[in-house]
Chains A and B, each alone.
Chain A
Amino acid sequence: MGLIKILGKILEKKVPVQNVKTQPVKKINKSNQISIGAIKQALDGVEDVQYKPVRTSEGLVTLIYYASFVDPVVLHERVVKPILQRQETVIHASEKMEDHELNRVINLITTGHTIIYLHKPALFYAIETFSAKNRPIQRTETESSVIGPQDSFTESLNMNLSLIKRRITNAELKNKDYIIGAETNTKISVLYLEHLVNKDDLACVKKKIEEIDYAGFLDIAVLKQLMEDHPISPFPQYNMTVRPDMAMHYLLDGRIVVLMDNSQSVVICPTTFFELFVPTEDYYNRWTTVTLLRALRFFGFFVTIILTPTYISALTYHPELLPFELLLNLQESRDRVPFPPVIEVLFIELIIEILREAGSRMPTKIGSTIGIVGGIVIGTAAVEAGLISNILVVLVAVSALLSFLPSNFLMSNTSRFIRYAFILSAGTFGMYGQVIALAWLFIHLLNLTSLGKPYLAPVIPRKWTDLLDSIIRFPMRFLRYKKGISALKNKRVSPLDEE
């Protein structure tokens, strides 16, 4: 609606609230001349900076570095030991700093380099010594799969790049790096296969990244939200994963993958609604199994948002909809419940939500106990106390389980949010309200875009070959076409036309 679009525009404009462009090194003298005094002044108050004097055969040398970034063993092996033996070897391996490059020197120190200061003649050299500990590659906890590779991304950008690049050993795999975030100077990398990617998409991603003006990035999820076409929509418009094989799968289809330092997930854009339900395990299983599972996931999404609302509208407005035996059954289980169905449903849905949220915040050891307690309270005690009917418990449990079927966690969160809208509309207008809400949902999905491409693409296909890899996943030999959403435009030129 118009109001929403206007709101969206306001929000879009309000995004760079924190666009205070602070220079990282502001206090230093204006001349930008390097001297040991100027460095000390700039790094005043930084306690972990080290000034380590080393006396070599050729004179005094001072090493300047962050103790938190540089492992003493690495420093000794790479700098101190060679410098004591032959000073030139280290000088050759490092980069000479020009006289006016004080800002750069400070930047290098804050990113883990060591500055070698020769007292006579007063010269500065920088050498890469970043050796802070990284988390090793581990199994993924959030997107686990039975078949397929078990490794997952870590928080190190270089390690993540290596995880993808070792899978696609091809010089066509390009990456463009950016430094974003005025305060954090976070490094991000845009990864794509040069000959497959849609050039318009790439230009669009690059433009969006260059336009972003934000102070600090906690995780790539923040960047993803800033890059989305429709910031108010409840739906995630780009895919996010911690699995290298998923990133690789979409790279091979011509999508763009964005990685960020200190962030475990990577963002895949553009994406479609349907792809948010599909884990890569679908390509490792037999096609029959996958077809069954995909149907479950996709239709499960719609069942989870209309199951409990239908209970409300059937009991509140349209009891004639139900067969007599079922109605009797429902009324019998509800005869001690003093609330109208909508209150009853909201009550138990909120309890489930609380349990889920509490379980995810709590330490694991307490969490399992609470899970059992919560299960007993909801399953038995609430029914016996006459607060809710036991048929509703079954429905709510089923819809809660169904909401976790999509492979993308943000999508399952969305399905739970939308369910409340449906519950309220069913509570006010019954079946009519439900269909109106459904119409709203569909028109919203139809109008959503991901990087300017229609979000609901495979349902209303851009290319007929998309249907080979939709709810029915055809056997692998049929899946050799690029998806419509990533297809290059005007690519197919027959040789006869060029003559």
Chain B
Amino acid sequence: MDNNKLKKLKPYHVIFLVQNSMVALGLLSLPNELSSMGYSQWWIPLMLGIIANLTLIPIIWLFQRYPQDNLFTLNEKLIGKFLGKILNTFLVVYLIFFIASIVEGYLDLIKIIALPDRTIAGPLVVFFIVLLYIVHGGIKSIARFCILSFFLTIWMAYFLQWSILEGDIRHLMPVSNFTFHEFLVASRNGYFAICGYELIMTYFPYIINQKKAFKHASIGIWITITLYFSVTVVSVMYFTEWQLEEVIYPILKLYKAVELSYAERIDVLGISLWVLLILSSTAAYLWVAKKGMDALRSNNKTYHLYVIAICIFVFVMIPLSKDFQEAFYDNLFYIKFSIILWPNILIFLHLIKSKRKQASA
């Protein structure tokens, strides 16, 4: 379509790309992740939103200085070609593991809820076919799919109605019944669900209106935060503190509260429709990984996409023990968080570099 133009993301594309790359598996278990705070967890998403918004500022500031560069090329520019390549290799490998963790987590759920007594090989193959088809259209195709999957899934928020009716609003009080340690654990676990907006570091060069990118990305973040906030509030109202700690996927339990005359258990439908959200965020991550590979090899080749996809596929299919997987995926968080903070270091390098330029000039 418009493959030749570099600038192709309109404001609404940016909003929904940011919004949809954040929502994936994290939302399903969010109230459980925050459960160390007990009933006081309901305002945590707001705080996480503010943190996300704050960490967005250096990202946008930096990339507005380098409007043609993405994270990978900027790494090479600012910390040197050799070190940059090593770092980029590390990032691509991390992205492969991260996408694998999302896909595997989701397909395990499918296996438990929708398709019992089946291996995940078949669903995994069809998932990858569609995923590659989406990524193949480029970042604009992904953005379009994000918009679509948002509108195809947002109506499920209506199902919260039953839980609100059955819940108890008094659960929202007291607001500050927690220790500092509990607070730290909850924000660490909860932040995993918020991640995703940092992908803007890679598609920033494609945004048409880069000056207003911060505003649009913030709108995207706050749409997600509103969603998360409503979900945690409703969960706090509906569940007891014990349930919050023990139920791994509280959202699916919320579905079970739904009473419709024409359908008994909505959770099967919900978890199946969730694939749209998973597809849109993994597509964004996969596209970023492909860009990383492009930067590593210094050329744009479509087969890079297939190479990465095969790596992810193989990694998902490798039989690993559940404990190892959990520990492994859990530690991915620290990499994730350092990526979000990484632009601050780059800004530091940028400032040194520009100072030196000024001095030599």
Q: Which A residues are closer than 8 A to B by beta carbons?
A: 1-2, 5, 317-318, 320-324, 326, 425, 428-436, 439-440, 442-444, 446-447, 449, 452, 454, 460
Contacts and interface: CB of A to CB of B under 8 A. Distances in A.
Contact of B275 (A2, A317, A318, A439): A439
A217 B279 CA distance: 43
Given A1-B136, A446-B148, A431 B130 contact: no
Nearest to B142: A443
A326 to B, nearest CB: 7
Contact of A436 (B127, B152, B265, B306): B127
B283 to A, nearest CB: 9
Given A1-B129, A433-B126, A454 B1 contact: yes
A431 B116 CA distance: 13
Interface in B153-185: none
A324 B264 contact: yes
Contacts of B265: 318, 320-321
Contact of B132 (A1, A433, A434): A1
Contact of A447 (B1, B149, B269): B1
B122 interface: yes
B264 A440 contact: no
B123 A460 contact: no
Contacts of B272: 430-432, 434-435
Contact of A5 (B114, B122, B136, B266): B136
B12 to A, nearest CB: 9
A447 B137 contact: yes
A435 B148 CA distance: 13
A429 B123 contact: yes
Interface of B: 1, 110, 114-115, 122-123, 126-127, 129-130, 132-134, 136-137, 141, 144-145, 147-149, 152, 261-266, 268-269, 272-273, 275-276, 279, 302, 305-306
A260 to B, nearest CB: 28
Given A323-B263, A429-B122, A446-B145, 16 more contacts: A1-B136, A2-B302, A317-B115, A320-B265, A321-B268, A323-B264, A428-B122, A429-B115, A432-B123, A440-B133, A443-B134, A446-B148, A447-B1, A447-B137, A449-B1, A452-B1
Nearest to B129: A1
B262 A323 contact: yes
Contacts of B130: 436, 439-440, 443
A5 B133 CA distance: 10
A446 B141 contact: yes
Contacts of B262: 323, 326
12 contacts: A321-B269, A322-B263, A429-B115, A429-B123, A430-B114, A432-B272, A435-B276, A439-B130, A443-B130, A443-B137, A443-B141, A452-B1
Nearest to B149: A439
B141 A318 contact: no
Contacts, number: 97
Given A324-B264, A425-B126, A442-B148, A318 B133 contact: no
Contacts of B306: 2
A439 B279 contact: yes
Closest 10 CB pairs of A and B: A431-B272, A446-B144, A435-B272, A1-B133, A320-B265, A318-B268, A447-B137, A432-B272, A323-B264, A443-B134
State the majority secondary structure of interface residues on B.
Answer: helix
A141 to B, nearest CB: 38
Nearest to B114: A432
A465 B313 CA distance: 45
Contacts of A439: 130, 134, 145, 149, 275-276, 279
A44 B114 CA distance: 74
B252 to A, nearest CB: 13
Contacts of A435: 272-273, 275-276
Contacts of B127: 436
Contacts of B137: 443, 446-447
Contacts of A431: 114, 268-269, 272
A450 to B, nearest CB: 11
A439 B275 CA distance: 9
A440 B128 CA distance: 11
Interface centre among A431, A434, A443, A446 (most CB of B within 10 A): A443
Contacts of A326: 262
A446 B283 CA distance: 15
Nearest to A448: B1
Given A323-B264, A326-B262, A442 B275 contact: no
Interface centre among B141, B268, B272 (most CB of A within 10 A): B272
A318 B114 contact: yes
A371 B116 CA distance: 43
Contacts of B136: 1-2, 5
Contacts of A322: 263-264
A321 B263 contact: yes
A321 to B, nearest CB: 5
A460 B13 CA distance: 11
A323 B123 contact: no
Contacts of A449: 1
A2 to B, nearest CB: 6
Contacts of B134: 439, 443
Nearest to A456: B144
Contacts of A317: 114-115
Contacts of A429: 115, 122-123, 126
A446 B151 CA distance: 14
A320 B276 CA distance: 22
Contacts of A321: 263-266, 268-269
Interface centre among A321, A322, A433, A444 (most CB of B within 10 A): A321
A70 B152 CA distance: 62
A494 to B, nearest CB: 21
A447 B133 CA distance: 10
A432 B109 CA distance: 11
B159 to A, nearest CB: 14
A118 B141 CA distance: 69
A434 B305 CA distance: 25
A432 B132 contact: no
